[in-house]
Structure 1
Amino acid sequence: MRDVFVVLAGVVAVAAAGCALTAAYVYLRNNNGRAEAERRARRWLVATAVFGVSAVVLRFVTLLA
Structure 2
Amino acid sequence: MSHSKISKERLVTVLSLGLSVAIKNQVIEIDGAEQLLYSPLTILNELGIDQQIINLMRAGTELENL
TM-score normalised by the chain length of structure 2: 0.51
Structure 1 or 2: more helix by fraction: 1
Structure 1 runs (4+) greater than 4 angstroms displaced: none
Which blocks of at least 5 consecutive residues in structure 2 are unaligned? 51-66
1:11 aligns with 2:15: no
Structure index of larger Rg: 1
Give the partner amino acid of 1:6. S
1:1-65 aligned at under 5 Å gives the runs 6-31=2-27, 37-42=29-34, 43-46=36-39, 49=41, 50=43, 52-53=44-45, 54-56=47-49
Report the CA distance between 1:21 and its aligned residue: 0.3
- Aligned sequence identity (%): 4
- TM-score relative to the length of structure 1: 0.52
Aligned partners of 2:8, 2:23: CA distance in 1, in Å? 23
CA RMSD of aligned residues (A): 2.6
Which segments of 5 or more consecutive residues in structure 1 lack a partner in the other structure?
Answer: 58-65
**2:13 aligned partner, one-letter code:** A
Q: Which has the higher contact order (CA 8 A, sep 6+)?
A: 1
